[in-house]
Chains A and B, each alone.
Chain A
Amino acid sequence: MKYMLLIYSDESDPRSAGSPEDMAGHVALAREAISHAAYVTCDALQQTPAATTVRVRNGEAVITDGPFAETKEVLGGYYVLDCKDLDEAIAYAAKIPPAKHGAIEIRPIMEIPGWDEMIGLTSPAPAAR
């Protein structure tokens, strides 16, 4: 089953900026997941001052600066890993460097028949923009 591992940390904590040791930890984790055919994808997000939240009400888009919710720890990145069970997902989560000062939320991904086709992921990869 695929799991999303959401990385939350306090942006005001200097440890959340990502040290060279943390980067090495991410590379080691990704390589381990790749060697077990568990790696699907991962991304790092720009910090929350760059976030924009959009809501459509009465047909009008209402745009606010900042993330959806004001929380002390905020989403900074994520992994998607294909794990045999939740225990394996927890073992990977514990190896994500910010787990040492932040929190990793693990969310199972729904397997929806035909989903990839529905959202166009099975069509040829378009050229980079």
Chain B
Amino acid sequence: MIGYVVRRLLSMVLTFWAMTFVAFLIMELPPGDFATTRVSEVSAAGAKIDPAMVSRLREMYHLDAPLLERYLVWFGGVLRGDFGYSLAFNTPVNQLVASQLPNTLLVEGLTLLFMYAVAIPIGIYSAVRKYSIGDYLASVIGFVGVAVPSFLLALLLMWVAYSNFGTVLGGLQSQEFAGAALSLAKVGDIAAHLWAPVLVGGAAGMASLIRVTRANLLDELDKPYVTTARAKGLTEFRLLLKYPVRMAMSPLVSSIGWLLPSLISSSTVVAIVLNMPTLGPLLLNGLLVQDMYLAGGVLVVMAVLTLMGTLISDVLLFWLDPRVRMGVL
């Protein structure tokens, strides 16, 4: 048991390190560096360049050092919580990230819960009542959900809302609540804004979850232990939940591992379209102006979020499946 935990932690640490390396490589991809971009910006604005400032920048960020050294300096900063300095916003990156992080967690968390809470019952129903109208509908939803790009779904929703109700969907709160203290009205306002990103962000993931649940459960329903339970005299409903659903849960729980990155991925786009104050739009804005420190910082935080997801799914799996507990799997 200890071995399992240790191995998991070890692989998480390794993965984290690898992720920061990938993020750093992406940061380094665009030609030129921090200083030259700044210089070209400043001179394009017509202002004069102070060579001393330029060389100070170079020194501060070790811009003349070889790749590996630059990586280590940046990585060291990351471990301390210092992600560097954002060109575009003239603020330390960690401040920017910190301001968007709670919103991101809120939206992602709700979307995840929504996806599982809706997809699993539908998937179970679909499998048990195979080829019924409900099953057919569910697979249509499944197919369409996967086929529609999330940004398009967001656009369509916005269009419908605007043409029919004149409301502009998007954002997290209305103007009057911004900066106000937490109150019931404020919570209600946020909730009213949240349904769109949660629905759209979760749509694609939910669709594939339904299919996966249905497929896994169908596999389990044919297995001998289900027949044994039936032969004991259990009612169909109880036997369904206690046995095949329980067994089908294991792969579903481990699906959190790949679902979370995909969720963060699609919610990035949705957040951009719906103008949410989360990490996604922050990343895009950074990339559009090649503010690579910002981009790198956001990428690292996103990577950590997915690692958290994997950790949660591992813990849940451990609790749920005795084979994992006993080290057989």
A binds B: no
**Chain A residues in contact with chain B, CB under 8 A?**
none
